[in-house]
Structure 1
Amino acid sequence: MLVMMNWLIWNCRGAGKKNFVSFVKDCTRIYNLGFVAILEPRIGNFRADQVIKRLGFECVVKADPVGYSGGIWCCWKPSVISIRVINVSRHCIHLHVDPNNQGGWFMSIIYAHPQESLRLSLWEELKSYKNQLQGPWCAAGDFNSISCESEKQGGSPANRAAINRFKDCLDYCELADLGAKGPPFTWQRGELLERLDRVVANPLWRSIFSSASVTNLTLPPSDHCGLWLRMNLSNQASP
């Protein structure tokens, strides 16, 4: 029997908005989501806990924002998927996913700092993590980076040095872009469009989930597209 696993990774640009909870609940129902990662919620502590509780997910791990900057929430249904938290840092949550007790795989949910000089520590974190793990690995989220000049339209010329540093990190970690259906750019501000959000994975993960797909969803409350990641569990096996 084929079982499809549906994940949403989304920079919502603020989870304190009036209709945020109902909007996420609608997405959960429409896309049959078992896991939702919320990036840049812009609220923390007690207020964040109140909003998260209303989303209806039994399991949650979060990296609180610093003021209004950053933040990651990972929410999932244990009846759908088994997840163990490995590490939480300001810009990344590392998870181990084992849906059917066959060895599982690693998942990193990313929110990279919008300032390029402050992203470098995240690139180093991912390189260090790569040296420690063995097995299938996927990373998804808002990398706040483009991997080539064609992923930017409008605004000032692309920063070639920043592109190279991002590509060097992905190459070192053996993380290749899964591509995406839908809009080619995932973020827009006025006439400036960029592909900042993506899903990448190492060769072992891609061989196991060879039919995995990503769709960029236009979700109007935010200026970022959500990443709808679909994986067929019948393909998942022990590495």
Structure 2
Amino acid sequence: MDYTGPGNRIWIAWNDDIIDVDILNVDSQYVHCRVHIHELHEIILITVVYGANEVSTRRDLWQGLIELAETVGNEPWLVGGDFNAVLDMSEVCGASGDIRVAMNEFNECILQTGLLSLPMQGERFTWHNCSLDGRSLWKRLDRLLANDFG
């Protein structure tokens, strides 16, 4: 089975033999689902994110995640995807301009939602501007966040 969000920015695919997916909330920057894992008899909330390029538009994403957090209760919640924002300057390599406002807003969202950044394996950066003129820029824009439901 699969689902394509508004504007084809977010795609979700799954195997009906393994899980059931109920789409609970759809936004231009996220799709929020309840996932039932058959074999484990467990339910987890999953929010798939593709953050907007513009800082001002991403504010809608931060507010949406804060509102979702209020509905989660004590259910396990996994939030992941391309947030188009970094948590701190160690997640940037190269000249990026002033990203402090965007970085602070992302950190404030994480604080207000009670989410924790999960450790990452593999490459340190998840995005590169592919510049050939010596202005190479690398960022960690993709990540997984989870609540502390236990």
TM-score by length of 2: 0.89
- The residue type paired with residue 60 of structure 1 is D
> C-alpha distance in 2, partners of 1:137/1:186?
23
Could you say which residue in structure 1 is the equivalent of 2:126? 186
How do 1:143-158 residues align onto structure 2 when only pairs under 5 Å count? 143-158=83-98
- The residue type paired with residue 107 of structure 1 is I
Structure 1 contact 116–162 (Cα < 8 Å) conserved: yes
Q: Which of 88, 93, 104 matches 2:43? A: 104
Q: Percent identity?
A: 29
> C-alpha distance in 1, partners of 2:108/2:20?
32
Q: Which of 20, 41, 47 matches 1:82? A: 20
Structure 2 contact 6–27 (Cα < 8 Å) conserved: no
Unaligned runs of 5+ in 1: 1-58, 208-239
Give the deviation of 1:64 after TM superposition.
Answer: 3.0
The reply to whether residue 62 of structure 1 matches residue 10 of structure 2 is no
How do 1:206-217 residues align onto structure 2 when only pairs under 5 Å count? 207=150
**85 and 185 in structure 1: CA distance in 2 versus 1, 3 angstrom threshold:** same
How do 1:1-239 residues align onto structure 2 when only pairs under 5 Å count? 59-65=1-7, 71-100=9-38, 102-134=41-73, 135-189=75-129, 190=131, 191-204=136-149, 207=150
Count of residue pairs brought into register by the alignment: 143
- 1:38-90: CA deviation from partner (whole Å, max 9, x where unpaired): xxxxxxxxxxxxxxxxxxxxx1122132xxxx611111111122211111111
- The residue type paired with residue 119 of structure 2 is G
CA RMSD in angstroms comes to 1.4
- 1:79-135: CA deviation from partner (whole Å, max 9, x where unpaired): 122211111111110011110373411000001101111100110001011111221
Q: Which runs of 4+ in 1 moved over 4 A?
A: none
Structure 1 contact 84–95 (Cα < 8 Å) conserved: yes
Unaligned runs of 5+ in 2: none
- 1:131-183: CA deviation from partner (whole Å, max 9, x where unpaired): 11221101000000000011001023441121111000011111111121111
> C-alpha distance in 1, partners of 2:76/2:10?
22
Structure 1 contact 149–158 (Cα < 8 Å) conserved: no
